[in-house]
Amino acid sequence: MLPWGLSCLSALGAVGTALLGAGLLLSLAQHLWTLRWTLSRDRASALPLPKGSMGWPFFGETLHWLVQGSRFHSSRRERYGTVFKTHLLGRPVIRVSGAENVRTVLLGEHRLVRSQWPQSAHILLGSHTLLGAVGESHRQRRKILARAFSRAALECYVPRLQRALRREVRSWCAARGPVAVYEAAKALTFRMAARILLGLRLDEAQCSELARTFEQFVENLFSLPLDVPFSGLRKGIRARDQLHRHLEEAIAQKLLEDKTAVEPGDALDGIIHSTRELGHELSVQELKESAVELLFAAFSTTASASTSLVLLLLQHPAAIAKIQQELAAQGLGRACGCAPAASGGGAGPPPDCGCEPDLSLAALGHLRYVGCVVKEVLRLLPPVSGGYRTALRTFELDGYQIPKGWNVMYSIRDTHETAAVYRSPPEGFDPERFGTAGDDALGAAGRFHYIPFGGGARSCLGQELAQTVLQLLAVELVRTARWELATPAFPAMQTVPIVHPVDGLRLFFHPLASPAAQDGQRL
> Binding site for heme, residues?
460
List, as residue ranges, the binding site: 460
Q: Cα 432 vs. chain centroid, distance in angstroms?
A: 24
Buried b / exposed e over 433-463, threshold 16 CB at 10 Å, is bbeeebeebbeeebebbbbbbbbbbbebbbe
d(CA 438, CA 418): 15
The residues facing 114 across adjacent strands are 390
Buried b / exposed e over 15-51, threshold 16 CB at 10 Å, is eeeeeeeeeeeeeeeeeebeeebeeebbeebebebbe
Query: Rounded to the nearest 5 degrees, what angle is found at the Cα of 359, between the Cα atoms of 337 and 518?
Result: 30
**DSSP character string of 463-496:** HHHHHHHHHHHHHHHHHHEEEEESSSSPPPEE-S
- With contact defined as beta carbons under 8 Å apart, do 161 and 468 qualify? yes
SS3 of residue 400 by DSSP: strand
Q: Are strands 386-391 and 113-115 parallel, antiparallel or unpaired?
A: antiparallel
State the burial class of residue 398 (Cβ atoms within 10 Å of its Cβ: 0-12, 13-18, 19+): middle
Provide φ and ψ at 107, rounded to 5°.
-85, -5
d(CA 365, CA 356): 19
